[in-house]
Amino acid sequence: MSNNKLEHYVNIAKLLLENGPQTISQLKLFLKNPDNASLKRELDFLVENEIIIKQSKDNVTQRYSIAPSGIDILNFFNVIPPKQPIKTAP
């Protein structure tokens, strides 16, 4: 299976749906060998396109969560999570 950008974006969105809000460090643990620059670009793209949401509690720690439109996209691609989705933060 090829590892193209779309597949990578879908994997990030699916991971956030299944596991709830995550920091970049937590995402790196789940994803295979991402370098910081490419992961940051991918997250910025997903935030810019309102697929995920960037949250910041203390202006230092940023967490990412799935946006409602991201859930719609996962449904479009028939990506079914193996467990019940975690609620996204408001």
The mean per-residue pLDDT over the stretch 54-83 comes to 83
The two tokens of residue 48 are 């810019």
Sign for the pseudo-dihedral over CA of 84, 70, 68, 58: positive
> Which residue bears the tokens 């990030």?
12
Encode pLDDT of 45-61 as tens digits: 999 999 999 988 777 78
**Phi (first) and psi of residue 74, to 5 degrees:** -65, -40
**Domains recognised in the chain with CATH numbers:** 5-75 (1.10.10.10)
Query: Does the pLDDT at position 84 exceed 90?
Result: no
Q: Give residue 2's pLDDT.
A: 45
Query: Does the pLDDT at position 88 exceed 70?
Result: no
pLDDT band at 29 (very low <50, low <70, confident <90, very high): confident
